[in-house]
Amino acid sequence: MRRRQDTSFRVEAATELMPFLLAKLGGMTRTSVKQLLSQRRVTVNAGIQTRHDTPLKAGDVINILQGRGNVELRHPKLRVIYEDNALIVVEKKNGLLTVPYNPKSSEMTAYSILKDYVRKQSNRNTVHVVHRLDRETSGVLVFAKSAELQEYMRTYWKQLVTRRTYVALVEGHLEKKEGTITSWLTEDNQTAMVYSSQTDNGGQKAITNYKVLKATTIGEGDQETNISLVELNLETGRTNQIRVHMQSIGHPIIGDRKYGHGNEYSPIDRLCLHARTLEFIHPMTEKKARFEAPLPKEFKVVES
């Protein structure tokens, strides 16, 4: 018996995925199209896509996969944003390690969850860490599906990444609404603390650009606290860079027990740092790929 072929379409003008599929798949209802998406049977430029409002541009290639589709990752701490034959891009929740501290550890990590996920697709599939986020930092993470691609992306990370944007809730109201923090960072191997110096002391040069998105006051009376929602764009990616830089200007990140005051000044019981946007040159297509993880609900205290 011949295997049914996948259906392929090329986008001719900018639109969104839902209206495009409704136009191309004549007779299908919105519910049926959403079912195709939930079954992971729709790809955009070879990457599995599940969002009906995904923006499309002229030249994009849409495939409808035959059969039952791929295994879906269902986990409260990890969500697949994008996947193709080379990469998996995920949104990691706070409280989950990227990789174990000890290779022999049985603790659940983003790596162990994805390792199990790709093995369910095929026993030959593997997953490899490209970069990391701290346990308490949420946001966008990238994994490679081969050791060779992992090595390539790690080697050329600075050249491949075109934008890394974080958002954070910090203590207080910043005097300057935007600026650049430049310092040299050194790590104490005994305490694992990173220290900032305004002069070149042999440490690693670190540059963080920041912009205040909103400042507000929460609580009442003695419990009144000034907080700010800040956007941070990295020119370098040093260990604990954002946390140390915000501490260095007197506005540590809320919930930071290592470089700040923990949740002493906020009812939010987490480190309020989130990797919102990661944009890089896809190593296979050589085109810019941009991925975002929405602002965590805890951060929306500034909107209340």
CATH number of the domain where residue 215 is located: 3.30.2350.10
Q: What is the DSSP letter of 302?
A: G
Q: Are residues 18 and 122 in the same domain?
A: no
22 occurs within a structural domain: yes
* 134 is an active site residue: yes
126 occurs within a structural domain: yes
CA distance readout (Å), 253 to 3, 15, 100, 134, 179: 55, 39, 24, 14, 17
Q: Are residues 9 and 55 in the same domain?
A: yes
Residue 168, token pair as written in the block = 């954070």
**pLDDT at site 5:** 57
What is the Cα–Cα distance from 111 to 92, expressed in whole angstroms? 11
Q: Are residues 200 and 268 in the same domain?
A: yes
Those residues of the chain that have pLDDT short of 70 are 1-6, 66-71, 122-123, 265, 303-304
What is the Cα–Cα distance from 81 to 90, expressed in whole angstroms? 5
Q: Which of helix, strand or coil describes residue 114? A: helix
Q: Are residues 167 and 270 in the same domain?
A: yes
What is the Cα–Cα distance from 40 to 67, expressed in whole angstroms? 10
Of the three residues 117, 139, 155, the one that is the final residue of a domain is 155
291 occurs within a structural domain: no
Q: How many CB atoms lie within 10 A of CB 266?
A: 21
Q: Which of 84, 134, 188, 222 is catalytic?
A: 134
**pLDDT at site 6:** 66
**pLDDT at site 130:** 96
Of the three residues 15, 43, 69, the one that is the final residue of a domain is 69
How many structural domains is the chain composed of? 3
Q: Are residues 44 and 141 in the same domain?
A: no
In 3D space, the residue among 190, 274, 203 whose CA is nearest the CA of residue 239 turns out to be 203
**Residue 109 near residue 98 (C-beta atoms within 8 A):** yes
Q: Are residues 165 and 258 in the same domain?
A: yes
What is the Cα–Cα distance from 5 to 242, expressed in whole angstroms? 49
In 3D space, the residue among 55, 134, 119 whose CA is nearest the CA of residue 88 turns out to be 119
289 occurs within a structural domain: no
**pLDDT at site 2:** 38
